[in-house]
Amino acid sequence: MTEELLRIFREKGAYLDGHFGLTSGKHSPVYLQCALVLQYPGIARELGRNLAKLAGDRIDLVISPAVGGIVIGQEVAFHLNARAIFAERVDGGMTLRRSFAIRPGERVLAVEDVVTTGGSCREAADLAVDGGGVLVATASIVHRYADEPANPTDKPHHALLKVHAPAYDPERCPLCEAGTPVEKPGSRAIK
* φ, ψ (nearest 5 deg) of residue 130: -60, -30
User: How far apart, in whole angstroms, are the C-alpha atoms of residue 81 and residue 154?
Assistant: 25
- Asked if residue 188 has pLDDT above 80, the reply is no
At residue 190, the pLDDT reads 41
At residue 1, the pLDDT reads 63
pLDDT digits (tens, 9 = 90+) for 160-179: 999 988 989 999 999 999 99
Which residues fall within 8 angstroms of residue 110, CB to CB, at 6 or more apart?
Answer: 62, 63, 64, 121, 122, 124, 125, 128, 135, 137, 138, 139, 152, 153
Mean pLDDT score, 71-91 = 96
**pTM assigned to the model:** 0.88
User: How far apart, in whole angstroms, are the C-alpha atoms of residue 1 and residue 113?
Assistant: 16
Q: Does residue 183 belong to any structural domain of this protein?
A: no
Name the residue with higher pLDDT: 153 or 182. Answer: 182
Q: Does residue 19 belong to any structural domain of this protein?
A: yes
- Number of structural domains the chain divides into: 1
At residue 187, the pLDDT reads 56
Q: Does residue 25 belong to any structural domain of this protein?
A: yes
Q: Does residue 185 belong to any structural domain of this protein?
A: no
155: domain range? Answer: 2-177
Mean pLDDT score, 65-78 = 95
Q: Does residue 127 belong to any structural domain of this protein?
A: yes
Q: Does residue 191 belong to any structural domain of this protein?
A: no
At residue 147, the pLDDT reads 74
Which residues fall within 8 angstroms of residue 85, CB to CB, at 6 or more apart?
Answer: 61, 62, 63, 64, 96, 100
Residue 85: give its domain's CATH number.
3.40.50.2020
Mean pLDDT score, 9-23 = 92
Number of other CB atoms surrounding residue 191 within 10 Å: 3
Tell me if 140 sits within 8 A of 112, measured CB to CB. Answer: yes
- Neighbouring-strand partners of residue 158: 139
* φ, ψ (nearest 5 deg) of residue 110: -95, 125
pLDDT band at residue 125 under the 50/70/90 scheme: very high
Q: Give, in degrees to the nearest 5, the angle at Cα 39 between 35 and 44.
A: 90
Q: Does residue 67 belong to any structural domain of this protein?
A: yes
Q: Does residue 190 belong to any structural domain of this protein?
A: no
